[in-house]
Structure 1
Amino acid sequence: MFWAALFDFFCIPFIVFISFMIILSAVNKSVGVRRAYVKLLLKIFEFGRLSIESAAKERQKLVGDTIFNNSQERKLDEINLSFCKKTGRTIPTTNGNTLISRDSVLLPTSNEPAASDIESPPKDEEMRFNLEKCLDYIKAGVESIIEDEVTSRFEAEELKSWNLLTRTNRHYEFISWKITLIWMTGFAVRYFILMPLRVFVCFVGVVWLTVCTAIVGYIKDGEYKRRMVDQVLGHCFSVLSSAISAVIYYHNVENRPTNGICVANHTSPIDVLVLMCDKTYSLIGQRHGGFLGLLQRALARASPHIWFERGEARDRHAVAERLKQHVSNPNNPPILIFPEGTCINNTSVMQFKKGSFEVGGVIYPVAIKYDPRFGDAFWNSSKYSMMQYLYMMMTSWAIVCDVWYLPPMYRQEGESAIDFANRVKSVIAKQGGLVDLVWDGQLKRMKPKKEWRELQQVEFAKRLKGD
């Protein structure tokens, strides 16, 4: 009797809820619960911010540092203003922190050194050594030690205010009894209500996706199958988005891709989920095992995708050829590509690989920007496994993001693939409010290229000679 009562109390409401959610997803309807939940969270975060600021002011009064801190801040502002007036340069800020404004020293300007830069060693009488010529390099090196422009893009984005998660801050939860009560309540809600529910929804969503794609896979190729795939994948990914309480805002939907190649900045594997909730895409990438491999095999049953083995993926010619074949078929969905090749923490856009821009045809840029207040969507694959990442997603408040569909872009006459890639990257960065960086995202896993070091050595030698 006890177990039957327990089943009735927990399992039946779960089953009813999931059935209701699947029905809503199938008819593409929403009752607005997640958006109302996000609005409530914003009010709680604002209350927490005000409480923390109030407690900080009280603490400053107790130690008598208020006047000193204000005078120091004014003095720092005066120094920054004087620096800007003298040099004509600005000191950009992000998340309330001052960033170092670097010159073009130590930036990768080319993949190969020019022939004119490689000269024979100068004669002794031609060498004019000036100590001041190396100061720019010393300055750039010290600045990189203080705040590295590259490796900081592979860490969680710093928040302006605390979001009641101890993974983003460890000393605010006990600042007052009100904040402590809210934090403890939030912890209980996230771990004992939301997390079990989200795990259950994720399990149901994966099973539902596997079953639906298997059934659709038996339908004969044609217009009817394409319509069925769009509907089935749309509501399957809508169910999966509930597992992370995703709230997605789509902008400029008139620019939504119809064919060709769609490129977007890359933050995490859920970028695919975010975009597939609104439009069906074909995917290209390396074959995986485990959870990702299960999803890859399920998707391949219903629609055309390009999956490579690890060794095959390194063959650029084979990749480009299969990509051209896919794009040349007007019946295929647009293929989704993340040209950065790795996940960046959603504060910047790093170097785009040129391969997808050499194929030709139309490029549809898409900018994705996550709101870090509700949860950090960035996946640091060198630090967390996929299961650890999913655990962090399911114990966050929610995943909230904006998606901008940008006008289609074409390669101009005489424009190289690298220049075209940089032009597309710049448009995405500007729309998403991201920093446009020239560095290769693979620096996350490997050392700088030998060619980059040689270029800087040549440049340094030229400065020492007084050129």
Structure 2
Amino acid sequence: MSSRQTEVMPNFEQTLLKKRGSALTDGLSFIAYGAQAIANDEFSKCFAPKPRNKVISYLLKGLKAPLSIAGMGIRYFLLLPIRIFILFGASAGFFIALPIVLRLKSERLKRLLFKLYCKAFLWSWGSKIRYHGKKPVLDEPHIFVSNHTSIIDYIVLSSHGFPHATVAQRQGGIIGYFQKNILKLNGSLNFDRSQKNDRSVIAQKMREHVFNTEKSPLLIFPEGTCVNNEYTVLFHKGAFELGAKVAPVAIKYDKSWADAYWHSRTQTFSSQ
């Protein structure tokens, strides 16, 4: 949120005191003040997708048009099949290796398998990621907390150094399948916002996970929702009441070619 606060109706109180009228008039003035405050709400812009730079449209102009058309041909007819092959090949390898790793009961191999699968996802998207700083490896209870833009936040962070367990809202479709059958294997927790009892149960399970240093480090997104990567909203305090050290993480996406923001109320993840 911006630190600069703009006054919706300057000198509203002074103007109201100078007026002489009925109580009804005063009430209507307050209603108008509230309506303008809602209309100029700065909080809603945290969830509004920001138009990305029209790089492709720009490249199609003038003398650069032939190069841009050639680039699109390479991306869609050469690179896209390769990326699909990487994604499906990595998925096949993951599901073949997973039962073997689980049978061996090796936490180290399981972490390596999850990490490589996350890397394969990023390779298939042609992503370029720049990590700043060294990812901490702690032998005491700790959690990682990060701002939240999309489901791929988890993949980005789990592909670097070591994978994470996470806490997430239950989803349907292919994401729900991965939550129920894959992510739960590394200790990830799922909850349903409509079930009030889930909150206390999840809080207890989070504490148990955090204080078991043999498990994958827990990654939490305390904003509780996806934000458009231009702002952050208030972090819920529950993540900081576990009695564990906190390792903060910040993720910033480049929107030149695509916007990573997942507006879950209007988009499915596959249509992002």
Query: TM-score w.r.t. structure 2 length?
Result: 0.79
The corresponding residue for 1:162 is 54
Listed as ranges, the gaps of 5+ residues in structure 2 are 10-15, 20-25
Q: Indicate the residue corresponding to 1:195 in structure 2.
A: 80
Q: CA deviation at 1:379?
A: 1.1
2:70 matches 1:185: yes
- Which has the larger displacement, 234-243 or 204-213? 204-213
Structure 2 equivalent of residue 129 of structure 1: 17
Matched position secondary structure for 1:250: coil
Name the CA distance, whole Å, in 2 between partners of 1:318 and 1:273: 25
What code does the residue aligned with 2:124 have?
Answer: A
CA contact (8 A) 1:263 1:364 kept: yes
Stretches of 4+ aligned residues off by more than 4 angstroms: 137-140, 256-259, 309-314
Counterpart position of 1:289: 172
Aligned residue in 2 for 1:268 = 150
Q: How does 1:306-317 map to 2 (within 5 A)?
A: 306-309=189-192, 311-312=194-195, 315-317=198-200
Contact persistence 1:201–1:239 (CA under 8 A): yes
> What corresponds to 2:184 in structure 1?
300
State which structure, 1 or 2, has the greater radius of gyration over its C-alpha atoms.
1
- Indicate conservation of the 8 Å contact 1:313/1:319, yes or no: no
Distance 1:199 1:310, change over 3 A: farther
Cα pair 1:257 1:334 within 8 Å, conserved: no
The 8 Å contact of residues 105 and 140 in structure 1, kept in 2 or not, is answered as no
Name 1:238's counterpart in structure 2: 119
Whether the 8 Å contact between 2:170 and 2:192 is mirrored in structure 1 is yes
Distance 2:8 2:240 in 1: 28
Does 1:386 find its partner at 2:269?
A: yes
Aligned to 1:102: 5
Match of 1:141, SS? helix
Residue correspondence of structure 1 range 351-390 to structure 2 within 5 A: 351-389=234-272
Deviation, 1:271, is: 0.4
- 1:317 and 1:139 map into 2 onto residues whose CA distance is 36
Give the equivalent residue in structure 2 for 1:70.
none
| Number of equivalent positions | 254
Q: Secondary structure at the match of 1:369?
A: coil
1:277, CA displacement in angstroms?
0.5
Q: From 141, 151, 155, give the equivalent of 2:44.
A: 151
Contact 1:263 1:338 in 2 (8 A): yes
The code of the aligned residue for 2:18 comes to N
Does residue 100 of structure 2 align to residue 215 of structure 1?
A: yes
Q: SS in structure 2 opposite 1:307? A: strand
Shift of 1:138: 5.1
> Does residue 110 of structure 2 align to residue 205 of structure 1?
no
Contact 1:209/1:298, CA 8 A, preserved across alignment: no
Q: CA deviation at 1:241?
A: 1.1
What is the CA–CA distance in structure 2 between the aligned matches of 1:309 and 1:208, rounded to whole Å?
Answer: 31
Closer/same/farther in 2, CA of residues 184 and 290 from structure 1, 3 Å limit? same
Shift of 1:274: 0.3
1:248 — aligned with what? 129
Structure 1 residue 346 corresponds to structure 2 residue 229: yes
In the alignment, which residue of structure 1 is the partner of 2:23? Answer: none
Measure, in 1, the Cα distance between the counterparts of 2:41 and 2:112. Answer: 45
Residue 219 and residue 349 in structure 1: after superposition, are their counterparts in 2 closer, same or farther (change >3 A)?
A: same
Q: Which moved more, 1:205-214 or 1:340-349?
A: 205-214
Q: Which has the higher relative contact order, 1 or 2, with Cα contacts under 8 A spaced 6 or more apart?
A: 2
Distance 1:195 1:313, change over 3 A: farther
2:237 partner letter: K
Contact 2:209 2:215 in 1 (8 A): yes
Aligned residue number for residue 36 of structure 2? 141
Question: 3-state DSSP class of the match of 1:251?
Answer: coil
Q: Secondary structure at the match of 1:368?
A: coil
Residues 115 and 158 in structure 2, CA contact (< 8 A), matched pair in contact too: yes
Q: Counterparts of 1:337 and 1:346 in 2: how far apart (Å)? A: 16
Partner Cα distance (1:244, 1:290) in 2: 20
Quick one: distance in 1 between partners of 2:138 and 2:221? 15
- 1:12-161 paired onto structure 2 within 5 Å: 101-103=4-6, 129-130=17-18, 141=36, 145=39, 148-159=41-52, 161=53
Identity of aligned residues (%): 30
Deviation of 1:346 (Å): 0.7
SS of structure 2 residue aligned to 1:284: strand
* CA distance in 2 between partners of 1:211 and 1:285 (Å): 26
> SS of the residue aligned with 1:285?
strand
Shift of 1:384: 1.9
SS at match of 1:374: coil
